[in-house]
């Protein structure tokens, strides 16, 4: 499991504690940032417990902090600003095995928009956009296997080639195999290009239990 996936799992695990989850849900539903005292009073939870859990949620980037003087006064004698909490913009999603349907949606939507604007073939545009995106992901990375691992393909080096043990777009690939496999092929080939890996090439080779793309000697 790579770093970003592990971080997402830690954030989800942080919400498994019942009191912490109650605090998070309360803050998330409040239209304005709230203080520790606000939360303690609203939920009937001891302030020390509230402080501990809110700060843990900040560590996991599920909440954000801002400071405000609620007295309305400024300058000397105005007192310390109150520490206020609000829900962060972070979105957390964890799937095992790893899936990346949001990326597929972005690539498909951008290809359709470009095809609509230019009249070009949407399938070819999708392949190009997937390849460009893959190249950006692997740019400057010395080992393309690292990039493949970070983006859910579960690469397995076998002999001179690499099998990809997981399809990040599995459900889409089941219902739209040709389109999604061509998109995956472009994405993986782009990773090879971005990493400057000339010893391998991406090719379609559907096998049960694996991604439809594999890496073979160039």
Q: Does residue 138 lie within any of the structural domains?
A: yes
At residue 140, the pLDDT reads: 87
Residue at which a domain ends, from 42, 60, 87: 87
Do 62 and 141 lie in one domain? The reply is no
Question: What percentage of the chain carries pLDDT values higher than 90?
Answer: 72
**Is residue 115 domain-shared with residue 212, that is, in the same domain?**
yes
- Same-domain check for residues 123 and 77: no
Are the CB atoms for 169 and 101 separated by under 8 Å?
Answer: yes
Domains of the chain: total = 2
User: Is 23 domain-assigned?
Assistant: yes
| Residue 187 belongs to domain spanning | 101-217
Same domain membership, residue 200 and residue 126: yes
Tens of pLDDT along 83-105? Answer: 999 999 887 776 777 889 999 99
Of 58, 87, 116, which closes a domain? 87
pLDDT for the residue numbered 203: 96
pLDDT above 90: residue 76: no
| Tens digit of each residue's pLDDT (9 = 90 or more) over 19-45 | 999 999 999 999 999 999 999 999 999
CB 88 within 8 A of CB 64: yes
Write out the two tokens for 211: 């991604």
Q: Which residue has the higher pLDDT, 211 or 7?
A: 211
Percent of the chain with pLDDT over 70: 92
Which residue in the block uniquely carries the two structure tokens 């859990």? 53
CATH number of the domain encompassing residue 77:
1.10.10.10
Tell me, yes or no, whether 22 lies in a domain.
yes
> How confident is the model at residue 199, as a pLDDT?
92
Whether residue 65 sits in one domain with residue 169: no
Q: How far apart are CA 197 and CA 162, in angstroms?
A: 13
**What mean pLDDT, rounded, does the chain reach?**
89
pLDDT band with cut points at 50, 70 and 90 for residue 118: very high
The span from the CA of 206 to the CA of 212, in Å, is 4
Judge if the upstream peptide bond of residue 97 is cis by omega within 30 degrees of 0. Answer: yes
Mean pLDDT of 145-164: 92
Q: The tokens of 115 are what? A: 């095809």
Indicate whether 209 pLDDT > 90.
no
Q: Is residue 93 part of a domain?
A: no
Question: Is the residue at 92 inside a domain?
Answer: no
Distance CA 25, CA 30 (A): 9
Q: For residue 94, is it within any domain?
A: no
Residue 156 DSSP SS3 = strand
- CA–CA distance, 135 with 187 (Å, rounded to integer): 8
Are residues 8 and 108 part of one domain?
A: no
């Amino acid at each position: 499991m790579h770093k970003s996936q592990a971080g997402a799992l830690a954030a989800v695990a942080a919400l498994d504690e019942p009191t912490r989850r109650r605090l998070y849900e309360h803050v998330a539903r409040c239209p304005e940032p709230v203080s520790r005292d606000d939360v303690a009073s609203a939920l009937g939870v001891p302030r020390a417990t509230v402080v501990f859990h809110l700060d843990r949620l900040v560590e996991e980037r599920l909440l954000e902090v801002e400071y405000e003087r609620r007295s309305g006064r400024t300058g000397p004698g105005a007192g310390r600003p109150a520490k206020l909490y609000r829900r962060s913009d972070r979105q957390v999603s964890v799937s095992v095995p790893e899936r990346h349907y949001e990326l597929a949606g972005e690539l498909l939507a951008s290809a359709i928009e470009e095809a609509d604007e230019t009249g070009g073939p949407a399938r070819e545009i999708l392949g190009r956009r997937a390849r460009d995106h893959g190249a950006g992901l692997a740019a400057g990375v010395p080992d393309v296997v690292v990039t493949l691992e970070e983006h859910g393909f579960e690469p397995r080096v076998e002999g001179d080639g690499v099998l990809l043990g997981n399809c990040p777009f599995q459900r889409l690939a089941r219902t739209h195999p040709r389109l999604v496999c061509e998109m995956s092929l472009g994405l993986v080939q782009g990773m090879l290009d971005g990493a400057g890996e000339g010893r391998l090439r991406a090719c379609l080779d559907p096998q049960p239990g694996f991604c439809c793309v594999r890496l073979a000697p160039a």
